[in-house]
Structure 1
Amino acid sequence: MTVVYRPTDLYESGVKARFQRAAVMAADRVVATSGAVLTALDVPAATPSLVLPNGVELARFANLDEVPRQDRAVYIGALDERFDWDAVREMAVEAPGWAFDVFGPGRPPQAPLPANVVLHGPISYDDIPEQLRSARVGLLPLSDAPVNRGRSPMKLYEYLASGLAVVTRETEVLQSNPEFGVYGYETARDAGKAIIAAVSVIMPNRHGMAAAAEEGWAGKARKLLDFTLEARR
């Protein structure tokens, strides 16, 4: 039996950090979702390791049948300490003619939001593609929580596969890439500039769709399987 540990997040301290360290030491191979996560784990030199970012379910999100795109920016995901409401506020103020639709479980912010930010609550996974295909920009407003440093969000490629431009806070993993319609910002105050750049992308974002097409889960699974089977050769 070959034990493969696939860490997805950085835990700097506490119970999760201890459990993760124990998992790394017990594994025959380690497959991290980002270089930042792998580096932080300090994997023993004798343990083979691989960086394999999260991917996308292409059959669900990649659809060339165009629907009318509305001036909408969409976020779909948890509303917890990893989410930056201040960045959303800045973007909504900078683009007052746009709707900012936020889907996901969690608590709303204590401070008031601009009128063009609408909180919809949780959404079914089956309903996500329809929401994305009718929007123009996907949002990744990450907070400065340490766990975000090494995240490889599946939403990045879900947004791109759906033909959206993307606005994201820049991290060690997520960087601005205008060629593919990805626009980064460093702090919440800079988020407004990023949304203005993103709204200019011609829809659908075909360069982003092409990039996402290389990141399907089927290809990721083949790489993982090949890497695992190497231990038996």
Structure 2
Amino acid sequence: MRRILFLAHSHAFGAFRVGSHHYARTLARAGADVVHLSTPISLAHRVAGRVSADAASSVPRGAHRDADGVTHLVPRTALPRPYGRFRVVRELTRQGIGLEFDAVLIDQPLLWDESVRTLSRRLVYRPTDLYPAGVKTRLQQRILTAADGVVATSSEVLRGLGPLDVPALVLGNGVDAARFAPPADVNADRPPVCVYVGALDARFDWQQVDAWARAHPDVRFAVAGPSAPPPISLPSNVDLLGPVPYPALPALLQGARVGLLPLSDDPLNAGRSPMKLYEYLGAGLATVARETPVIRPDDGAGLYTYRDREGADAVLRRALAHASPNVAGVQRAASESWQAKTDDLTAFLGSLPPA
């Protein structure tokens, strides 16, 4: 696969990195010509305040080739997708990007239009979330009708698609293991710091963080991510760090003892394959997560799960008592590297007969 197009939900110029960014980087470093086109920034979202002026100004206009060789494209539109006149082929042509690819991988249903099918003889849908209703559900069905294969980030996400008549693969998110691994010569016992990094939306359980912090006043809880003020008053041992740039994450995580994934009751959490899980383990943290069909306990690797508030505190106590740094967790994360995931993805793409 020498030329690959990602049609992705998130661009690479903010605080977060998602799976398509890592696949694109790994493939480009191996010599592939990779184009990563993400959800347009619309004037409507700017006016409504959903995209700030600072956030928009940090995103390059037009095609931008990064240090790894990936060509990034974040279109500007008047109306958000799927409304308005935006079409993928039209945007690629406008930017002088050739229209023939060995494979197209789409994870953002809102980017679908019929022109996408013309770009490659191999079209793969890569769902990363559950879409139980709404416009994304309708567009997802159109993609499935046209796709040659499916690569889902979890078995729950795959199950949510219903019966399929094309080849399918479950390929969970991975980790840039070398980036997050703690220095081999640093083995000092870490301080009682618990950290969360990620989105702070309806899928995040503020009440659980509050309960942990009040039960453990001697432990510092660091919460990093862009959000409005929390919906509840938090004790003084909870620090809200705001968004942390991706390059700064290893240092933040390596200064903590426990990584947290306090998932809420939001049904969309059932299918999530959180990237932070392996980044926590890879940085040497014991990890505490709410158990889901995707996230299961692995005590030997320092991954502890709880099912309800009654069990959450006992699990956190076990994680705080776990040997630190968590060497077994580092080893577990190394087996989930993005290179290994990319090898599996490439093999799957190669197995698909051209349409």
TM-score range normalised by the length of the shorter chain: over 0.9
Q: Is 1:172 the counterpart of 2:276 in the alignment? A: no
Q: Is 1:191 the counterpart of 2:312 in the alignment? A: yes
- The two structures have a TM-score, normalised by structure 1, of 0.95
Q: Which has the larger radius of gyration?
A: 2
- Partners of 1:216 and 1:78 in 2: CA distance: 22
Which residue in 2 is equivalent to 1:47? 166
Q: Is 1:130 the counterpart of 2:240 in the alignment? A: no
Q: 1:189 Cα shift?
A: 4.1
- Partners of 1:95 and 1:23 in 2: CA distance: 48
SS at match of 1:123: coil
Paired residue type of 1:20: Q
Structure 1 residues 26-51: Cα deviation after superposition (integer angstroms, max 9, x where no partner): 2100000100110111142x300000
2:302 is aligned, of 167, 181, 186, to: 181
1:38 is aligned, of 126, 151, 158, to: 158
Give the length in aligned residue pairs: 232
Which residue in 2 is equivalent to 1:24? 144
Paired residue type of 1:14: G
- The two structures have a TM-score, normalised by structure 2, of 0.63
Structure 1 residues 136-194: Cα deviation after superposition (integer angstroms, max 9, x where no partner): 00010111111111000000000000000001011110112211111111123432121
Q: Is 1:98 the counterpart of 2:219 in the alignment? A: yes
Which residue in 2 is equivalent to 1:63? 182
Paired residue type of 2:197: I
1:162 is aligned, of 283, 296, 319, to: 283
Structure number with the bigger relative contact order (C-alpha 8 A, sep ≥ 6) is 1
Paired residue type of 1:227: F
**What does 1:75-154 align with in structure 2 at a 5 Å threshold?**
75-154=196-275
Paired residue type of 2:336: E
CA contact (8 A) 1:156 1:166 kept: yes
SS at match of 1:41: coil
Displacement over 3 Å in runs of 4+: none
Paired residue type of 2:291: E
Which residue in 2 is equivalent to 1:6? 126
Q: Which runs of 5+ in 1 are unaligned?
A: none
Of 106-115 and 222-231, deviating more is 106-115
Structure number with higher helix proportion: 1
- Partners of 2:141 and 2:259 in 1: CA distance: 34
- Partners of 1:138 and 1:72 in 2: CA distance: 9
Of 89-98 and 50-59, deviating more is 89-98
SS at match of 2:239: strand
- Partners of 1:21 and 1:188 in 2: CA distance: 37
- Partners of 2:282 and 2:161 in 1: CA distance: 31
Q: 1:67 Cα shift?
A: 6.4
RMSD: 1.4
CA contact (8 A) 1:5 1:23 kept: yes
Identity in percent:
48
CA contact (8 A) 1:87 1:189 kept: no
- Partners of 1:89 and 1:125 in 2: CA distance: 26
- Partners of 1:70 and 1:60 in 2: CA distance: 21
Q: 1:64 Cα shift?
A: 3.2
